[in-house]
Structure formats: C-alpha cells, structure tokens
Amino acid sequence: MRTVLISGAGVGGPTLAYWLARAGFQPTVVERARGQRSSGNPVDVRGPALPVAEQMGVVPALREAATTVRAMRLIDSRGRRGVRLPMPSGRSAAGTAEIEVPRADLATILYAAARDHAEFVFDDTITAMSPDPGGVDVTFERGRPRRFDLVVGADGLHSTVRRLAFGPERDFVRHLGVYVATTPLGEPVDHPGEALMYNTPGRLISVHPSRGDALLAFIFRGAFRPDLDHRDTAAHKRVLLSAYGKDRSWRVPAFLDRVRASDDLYFDGVSRVVLPGWSRGRSTLLGDAAASVSLFGDGSSMAIAGAHTLAGALRESDDPAVALRRYEAEHRRRTDAKGRAARFAAALIVPGTRPGIALRNAAARVALHGRTAA
C-alpha cells in the first residue's frame, strides 16, 4: 500500500501527510478551500499533540505564532473585572509547555511542514468514491479521476468522506445545544495577557487577544436547526444577531456591528460525532470527522495526535484492515473521554440562567481557593 488520499488540509490532514511521507507513503491532500483559511479562534496544542509537534520541528514556529494569553477573566455587564482563571499549563515529557495558537496559524504551520513531502491540491473536493478490496476509485469536482490505496477523511465536522463512505451527517452528528461563532475584532486590546469572558443567560462573548488584534467569540445556546446550511454566512449572521440582538449591555452592540461587517466569520454548531467504527474497507476518518467535539474536546490536539497514531499503524502493518483497527483502538481511548465531558463543559461555559452563572462563578472562586485577583 503506497498511495493515500487525504481530504482536508486543516489540522489533521497536513499532519498525517507529513508522517505518511516520512514512513514512505505517497500522500495527496485535497482541500476544498482555495488556500489556507484565515478564520478561527485560538486553539491549544497540548497533551499527546505536543510530542508530535516536537518531532515535526514546528514548536519554534508555534511559539512565534502563540497568543500571549495566560488567563481568562470573567467580567460583569459594566465591564468590571471579576474572577481570574489561569490557563492550564501542562508540559510534554521533554518540557515543552502547551501552546495556544490561532487555528489558522496552526494549520498554516502544519501545512508548511508537510508541503514539500506531499502533493497538495486546493480548490477541489471528492465527489464520489468506488471502493473495492484493493483500493478506491475517486472522482473530483475539478481534477481527473484517480485511484488510491486508501482514502482518509480529515475534512472536519461536515466531512464529505464520512458522507460518501458511511452515510448522511444526521446519522452521526449530535448537536450539543450550543453554537459558536468567531470573528476578528479588528483592533488591539489593552489586556494582552487575559481573555475576557462575559456571560448572560445562555450566552457568552469572549474577547481573546491575539498578537496585535483580538478575536471575538460568541458561544450561545440554541436548538438544532436542520435547515441551516453550514456554508451560508448570511444565515449564520442572522442566527447570531437574533440570539444577541436585544442585548445592550457592556460592549455587545459594538461587537454585533463587527459581526454585521465581518467577511471572516466562523460559525458552527458545537456537535459530537459518534460513529460505531471509523473505517469502511479502504476509507477511514480522522479528527473532527471521526470523533472530536471541536470546541470542548481539544479538537486540534486530537487531530494531531490521531494523525500520528494513524500513520504509525499504517507503517507497522502491511494489512490496512489490521492497521486501521489498531489506529482506532489506540486513538479512541483519547477521544471517548473528551466526548463524555463535552455536555458538562457546554453547561459550564454558557449557564442558562443568572443563578447558574452566579453558581459557576462561585465554584470557580472556590476552585481557585480565593486566588482571585482584584
């Protein structure tokens, strides 16, 4: 087995391409976007992703792109600063501290590490896959049809490979009752070390500093909308503005103006992907497509660690079925734990009522043993 088609050049796709190339495979990555996407909030490279980043030699680049945020600060409706929650500060065995980096920079750095070792095709997507015991015949929207020994779906929550190999999204994607949207604030802030978090019942806004700018994130409760197209930005803006529209507190109206003017809005339902198995014949899934809970499940770190595990399993066994089983057994141990914690995390970050917010804040104070800075 030599040729591997990877759908998606986000976080997991380039990482997998890098490790497959090092193991002697010929990876091809097809990405729907025209180039690297710019949007997205800061994400953490931590836990099992850290040693993978170290071995790829990308830690210095990640450090350079890292945000300066060391803590989150809860604030009230007049902008007064309350509880300060230090960010976790885990380290790898080699001593590298976990790194918070804007998602787009992470994807760009991983792509830079992989691009000389793999074929990258932007602005295209798989349209059909015909598997047989020896490989998969693939057709594309733009490129000519090709045959590969294996196809990997690293194409995110709304994975095309998953739909083609396993069936429609509604069978596997469980909405967790929360939506997330992010957009650049477009100006620097005077709190480079702290992300501000402002809760109202069922809603959160955070202002997250990021090297000379800041990112606005809106996280809010909302029922599943089956008719919402995940690529329809105008519809996303309508949903977001109607969730926050009547709120006149703090700087909410100004932030909503940013949303109205934004041409770089990330928006998605926070969802858990649940599949009984990640592989079908000569196709398998990685990252959000397989299991992650993007916002609350360390989606980026799980995609990086999963890519390394998958490449290692394929290197070690000539039989793809054996390799894919080994990959899933090893990596599921990590993702299952994250998935179970997701609902709780959602309730904690956006309590539905004012007493719920007060209780959460009090619990944070207790957990910090009164270490709240004035």
Ligand X SMILES: Cc1cc2nc3c(=O)[nH]c(=O)nc-3n(C[C@H](O)[C@H](O)[C@H](O)COP(=O)(O)OP(=O)(O)OC[C@H]3O[C@@H](n4cnc5c(N)ncnc54)[C@H](O)[C@@H]3O)c2cc1C
For helices 320-349 and 299-316, give the axis angle rounded to 10 degrees.
Answer: 170
The binder of ligand X chosen from 150, 197, 295, 350 (CB under 6 A): 295
Of all residues in this chain, which one has the CB nearest to ligand X in the complex?
Answer: 10
337: its two tokens: 């734990």
98 binds ligand X (CB under 6 A): no
359 binds ligand X (CB under 6 A): no
299 binds ligand X (CB under 6 A): yes
Are 222 and 177 spatial neighbours (Cβ–Cβ below 8 Å)? Answer: yes
Are 12 and 287 spatial neighbours (Cβ–Cβ below 8 Å)? Answer: yes
292 binds ligand X (CB under 6 A): yes
CA atoms of 276 and 168, how far apart (whole Å): 14
Are 308 and 15 spatial neighbours (Cβ–Cβ below 8 Å)? Answer: yes
The binder of ligand X chosen from 4, 17, 18, 39 (CB under 6 A): 39
Q: How far is C-alpha 1 from the geometric centre of its chain's CA atoms?
A: 30
300 binds ligand X (CB under 6 A): yes
Are 159 and 151 spatial neighbours (Cβ–Cβ below 8 Å)? Answer: no
Closest CA to 212 of 181, 190, 234, 194: 190
The binder of ligand X chosen from 103, 236, 282, 334 (CB under 6 A): 103
151: its two tokens: 């196809």
156 binds ligand X (CB under 6 A): yes
288 binds ligand X (CB under 6 A): yes
Binders of ligand X among residues 175 to 214 (CB under 6 A) are 182
Query: Which residue's CB is nearer to ligand X, number 93 or number 234?
Result: 234
154 binds ligand X (CB under 6 A): yes
Question: What letter represents residue 4's amino acid?
Answer: V
The binder of ligand X chosen from 4, 10, 20, 45 (CB under 6 A): 10
For ligand X, the binding residues (CB under 6 A) are: 7-13, 30-33, 37, 39-41, 43, 103, 125, 154-156, 160, 182, 266, 287-289, 292, 294-295, 299-300, 303
